[in-house]
């Protein structure tokens, strides 16, 4: 059964090819069946393979499909590699991916380019599966770029608005910065280890640098650079909020559940490199910590519901990086999984709200919807509870595992822990704000709910997973990384553990008092001069966009304007100039006079004769 592994990425590829070849001429129902069905089949294949894998004793399974290229000693094969890490990722991609595709069949029904949408989505799923199943770093990189391409195509899906095109280009270019670091890291790794096969290169790295080295740290940091770009961490995080220009299912699939977690996957996959270098590991933790802190404050003041979720995604991925950095490898991957459940749920539920309000995304124009949109409301409530890590949800289990592991790490444990817990407090605060503004208070826009079973069924399944997904953690993920890293367990007794558990509840309480009651006057805080300034600062995401605009974008534009005629071109223009001068000289001889031509002919003949005679 395990040799069915190749089928998992093949189904979405086939779906993409069919939708591409038919150019949108198929009826919509057929398009929907192919688009969602291909991912569904792939999910079934993943279930079969996964069941076989879990029940067998083996810890990894690899399948060589064919040789990609051979140049001297350099040999890259297209081969798939399945272990527990890849299995979790494949489960999330195909499972959550299928639910989102199913939802999208309803959500995108009235949009232009229905078939194009599903073609891109299927291509994305294929590339993402290639990324997590690839046995060599080159195949991983192929998938890595593939998902970047699909992200670009889908952010700019509504291409008639130039702003969406700008957002798509921004996402592409900013992630390209990280990708450059990644490919440099791959070059270095190949030079040092001599192979791009993941397992062999990790073994090689352990042999060459038993105690770590500068080179090892450099490679790990370069790979981290790639991960930062893809996973929207500080300082390359600015593209993610703008990426919300894409359709909501895209935000759910690519910019919440799967693609943005590719960075987490990459670091977890190259774990051994990081275990050898304390500096790199510390960098991972700090990047995650800074991101989760900044993003959670930014989310508090956003007014666009999708931007709130975007910043919350950044901060949750920050938690995963943080967990990787403090050695809680299993907890990081576990949080990746639960986050995929509840963040997809939140995005899809908000998509239902947005659709019911005729594409209104401003939370200040929503309100009082909880009776009118019961299914989105309850789904969103469950998703929010998991996001805020309230007890008995999946988010609680995974986030507590991260925070408690951080608290127990030797060096900066408590510092790390307190910053992360402060951000957790902010998480529940902005979650309450989002829920309150959207669903409570007075109704400002009348909703028209027209969602059918294909839209509320995924919400239902994801709601169940958002609550129950936590229990999967103990059975599957406890053994994910074996004895490397910190063991995955839940503490309930210590003081730190109780504090960690109570902070989200405290956040919800404060949020309730702040937003739903008049105990504190929040207008007074937000309208005061410092409150306004801080609010503005948070609203623009701590000014990163502005810094990049003035440091990079505007100088580049200035340079492009100054160099409009392209200095390098002068060299080539000189060549054409010389050719033109000679051309003009020669045209004088083309005077149309027959006798002149005869004269040139005879003088030529004479010249040849003289030459012959002299020789």
Residues that bind other proteins (CB under 8 A): 586-595, 598-599, 602
Smallest gap from Cβ 585 to other proteins, in A, equals 11
Smallest gap from Cβ 16 to other proteins, in A, equals 56
Sequence-distant (≥ 6) Cβ neighbours of residue 422 within 8 angstroms: 293
Smallest gap from Cβ 603 to other proteins, in A, equals 10
The label of the residue with tokens 């005061």 reads 528
For 111-123, the three-class secondary structure string (H helix, E strand, C coil) is CCCHHHHHHHHHH
Smallest gap from Cβ 615 to other proteins, in A, equals 21
Smallest gap from Cβ 593 to other proteins, in A, equals 5
Cβ-based nearer residue to other proteins, 575 or 590: 590
Cβ-based nearer residue to other proteins, 547 or 581: 581
Cβ-based nearer residue to other proteins, 533 or 606: 606
Cβ-based nearer residue to other proteins, 160 or 589: 589
Smallest gap from Cβ 586 to other proteins, in A, equals 7
Cβ-based nearer residue to other proteins, 519 or 599: 599
| Separation CA 607–CA 81 (nearest Å) | 77
Smallest gap from Cβ 604 to other proteins, in A, equals 13
Nearest to 284 by CA among 333, 321, 233, 331: 321
Contact (CB, 8 A) for 232 and 256: no
Smallest gap from Cβ 575 to other proteins, in A, equals 22
What is the DSSP pairing of strand 60-71 with strand 74-83?
antiparallel
| Separation CA 188–CA 185 (nearest Å) | 5
Cβ-based nearer residue to other proteins, 523 or 583: 583
Cβ-based nearer residue to other proteins, 493 or 595: 595
φ/ψ (deg, to 5) at 82: -115, 125
Cβ-based nearer residue to other proteins, 371 or 593: 593
φ/ψ (deg, to 5) at 161: -95, 120
Sequence-distant (≥ 6) Cβ neighbours of residue 176 within 8 angstroms: 148, 229
Contact (CB, 8 A) for 287 and 224: yes
The tokens for 97 are 């991916």
Cβ-based nearer residue to other proteins, 540 or 610: 610
Cis peptide leading into residue 235 (ω within 30°): yes
Contact (CB, 8 A) for 109 and 93: no
Contact (CB, 8 A) for 345 and 382: yes
| Separation CA 448–CA 357 (nearest Å) | 7
Smallest gap from Cβ 608 to other proteins, in A, equals 15
């Amino acid at each position: 059964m395990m040799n069915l592994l190749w089928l998992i990425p093949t189904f979405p590829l086939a779906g993409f090819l069919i939708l591409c070849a038919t150019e949108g001429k198929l009826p919509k129902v057929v398009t929907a069946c192919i688009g969602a069905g291909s991912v569904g089949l792939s999910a079934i294949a993943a279930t079969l393979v996964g069941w076989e894998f879990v029940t067998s004793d083996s810890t990894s399974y690899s399948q060589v499909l064919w040789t990609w290229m051979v140049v001297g000693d350099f040999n890259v094969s297209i081969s798939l590699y399945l272990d527990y890490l890849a299995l979790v990722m494949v489960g999330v991609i195909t499972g959550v991916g299928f639910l989102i595709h199913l939802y999208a069949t309803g959500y995108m029904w009235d949009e232009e380019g229905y078939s194009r949408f599903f073609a891109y989505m299927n291509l994305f799923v294929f590339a993402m599966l290639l990324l997590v199943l690839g046995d060599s770093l080159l195949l991983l990189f192929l998938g890595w770029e593939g998902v970047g391409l699909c992200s670009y195509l889908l952010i700019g899906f509504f291409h008639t608005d130039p702003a969406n095109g700008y957002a798509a280009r921004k996402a592409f270019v900013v992630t390209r910065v990280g990708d450059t670091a990644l490919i440099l890291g791959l070059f270095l790794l190949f030079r040092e280890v001599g192979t791009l096969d993941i397992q062999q290169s990790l073994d090689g790295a352990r042999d060459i640098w038993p105690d770590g080295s500068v080179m090892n740290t450099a490679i790990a940091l370069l790979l981290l650079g790639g991960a930062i770009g893809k996973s929207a961490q500080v300082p390359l995080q600015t593209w993610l909020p703008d990426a919300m220009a894409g359709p909501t299912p895209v935000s759910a699939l690519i910019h919440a559940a799967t693609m943005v977690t590719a960075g987490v996957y990459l670091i977890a996959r190259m774990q051994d490199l990081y275990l050898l270098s304390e500096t790199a590991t510390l960098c991972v933790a700090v990047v995650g910590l800074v991101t989760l802190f900044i993003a959670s404050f930014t989310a508090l003041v956003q007014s666009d519901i999708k931007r709130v979720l975007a910043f919350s995604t950044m901060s949750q991925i920050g938690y995963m990086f943080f967990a990787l950095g403090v050695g809680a490898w299993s907890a990081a991957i576990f949080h990746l999984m639960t986050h995929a459940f509840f963040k997809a749920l939140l995005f899809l539920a908000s998509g239902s709200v947005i659709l019911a309000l005729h594409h209104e995304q401003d939370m200040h124009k929503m309100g009082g919807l909880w009776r009118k949109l019961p299914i989105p409301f309850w789904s969103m409530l469950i998703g929010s509870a998991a996001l805020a890590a309230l007890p008995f949800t999946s988010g609680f289990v995974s986030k507590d595992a991260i925070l408690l592991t951080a608290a127990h790490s030797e060096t900066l444990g408590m510092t790390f822990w307190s910053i992360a817990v402060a951000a957790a407090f902010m998480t529940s605060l902005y979650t309450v704000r989002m829920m309150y503004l959207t669903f409570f208070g007075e109704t400002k826009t009348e909703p028209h709910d027209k969602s059918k079973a294909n839209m509320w069924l995924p919400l239902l399944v994801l709601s169940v997973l958002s609550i129950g997904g936590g229990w999967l953690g103990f059975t599957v993920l406890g053994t994910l990384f074996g004895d490397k890293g910190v063991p995955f367990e839940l503490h309930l007794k210590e003081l730190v553990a109780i504090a960690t558990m109570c902070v989200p509840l405290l956040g919800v309480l404060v949020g309730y008092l702040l937003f739903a009651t008049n105990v504190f006057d929040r207008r007074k805080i937000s309208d005061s001069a410092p409150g306004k300034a801080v609010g503005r600062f948070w609203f623009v995401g701590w000014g990163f966009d502005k810094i990049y605009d003035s440091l990079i974008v505007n100088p580049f534009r200035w340079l492009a304007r100054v160099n409009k005629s392209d200095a390098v071109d002068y060299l080539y223009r000189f060549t054409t100039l010389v050719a033109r001068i000679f051309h003009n000289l020669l045209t004088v001889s083309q005077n149309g006079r027959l006798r002149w031509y005869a004269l040139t002919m005879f003088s030529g003949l004479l010249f040849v004769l003289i030459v012959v005679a002299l020789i």
